[in-house]
Amino acid sequence: MQRLIPVLNSDHVPLHLISVINTLLTAAKEISHRLHQGSLAGTLGSTLDENIQGETQKKLDIVSNQLIKTMLLETNLVHAVASEEEDDVVMGNPDARYLVAFDPLDGSSNIDINSSVGTIFSILEKPKHPAEGKELFLQTGDEQVAAGYILYGPSTMLVLTTGQGVRAYTLDHRVGEFLLTVDKLTIPEETQEFAINMSNQRFWAKPMQAYIQDLLAGTEGKRQKNFNMRWNAAMVSDVHRVLSRSGIFAYPADCRDENKPCKLRLLYEANPMSFIVEQAGGKASTGYERIMSLQPTEIHQRVSVIMGSRQEVNTCLSYYKSIECERLDG
């Protein structure tokens, strides 16, 4: 099996970008070790603190964030980082070329029940126009040069794109390396699976409510086929299932809190996952526009997300076109 660096070299990925990716994976190996140690590592449970999102931080949220941030900045290849756990961007080498936005531990509420979690990352180049601080990261998803996630499950997997398709690697603990296990991930266009948090159903806009009702109606309904629902409460594992065997993943806007109609963050969750999904032949939308075309306005911006098998996403979007309603995401 091929190692990561020779594969990226064969794609003519710049050496400094390969080094940044490799640094992320070094941090991921340490996070994987601590997760697999469980209570033995002394890092389970919550802290008394909240992050910028207003979410209670898990101990491993803080540890993972610090590991990734420190390792990236120590390379001198990174100009700045932006993290879910940081209020502001953290500056690195002023002469460096790359920016990294990341969610250090997606789905961290699953840690204490020994369920799957992950790390999501997006890599951009420093803009050519003058920019400082948060402005550096206000780039569309189309400007990403690489994106990926590490899934910490029964095995630790990396799913990565540099804009030349999607590959999957598995961490071989015997040699401490990520080895290529899937050379080309492709999402089938059709599916009979969906992933969504059904507890929010009554708060969704009419198009999503109608779409899900038709899925639940099965063979007796408009779609005339049965659908299975799967929900892991971690974007990484839910999207990984879509990549592995088709499906549609959605976290739509809702009206529970008018100040926070959306859950997922654009820069370090929606954009990198959209890049991966599109490179695998799928589609990613807010319900109204392509996610990677959105112009960010701030680093912790939230968006509605619908992504997965192309034909099924298109079917879902047809409800948004045919049913008139007020946009919950503004």
Domain span including residue 302: 193-322
Which residues make up each annotated binding site for Mg(2+)? 84, 103, 105-106, 269
Both 169 and 293 in one domain: the answer is no
**Number of separate domains in the chain:** 2
CATH code, 233: 3.40.190.80
Both 133 and 233 in one domain: the answer is no
Give the mean model confidence (pLDDT) for residues 149-162: 96
Is 330's pLDDT higher than 80? no
Q: For 63-114, what is each residue's pLDDT tens digit?
A: 999 999 999 999 999 999 999 999 999 999 999 999 999 999 998 878 777 8
Is 47's pLDDT higher than 70? no
Residue 211 Cα distances to 21, 129, 204, 253, 319, angstroms: 38, 43, 11, 14, 7
Q: Supply the pLDDT for residue 48.
A: 47
Of 154, 182, 210, the domain-final residue: 182
Whole-number average pLDDT of the chain = 93
Both 169 and 245 in one domain: the answer is no
Give the mean model confidence (pLDDT) for residues 244-251: 97
Which residues make up each annotated binding site? 84, 103, 105-109, 197, 263, 269
Which residues make up each annotated binding site for substrate? 106-109, 197, 263
Is 43's pLDDT higher than 70? no
Please provide the DSSP assignment of 169-207 as one string.
EEEETTTTEEEEEES-----S--SEEE--GGGGGGB-HH
Both 144 and 28 in one domain: the answer is yes
Both 89 and 156 in one domain: the answer is yes
Is 51's pLDDT higher than 60? no
Residue 188 lies in a domain: no
Q: For 177-226, what is each residue's pLDDT tens digit?
A: 999 999 999 999 999 999 999 999 999 999 999 999 999 999 999 999 99
Strand segments (E) across 56-110:
56-58, 78-83, 90-91, 98-106
Q: How many whole angstroms separate alpha carbon 174 and alpha carbon 193?
A: 35
Both 264 and 300 in one domain: the answer is yes
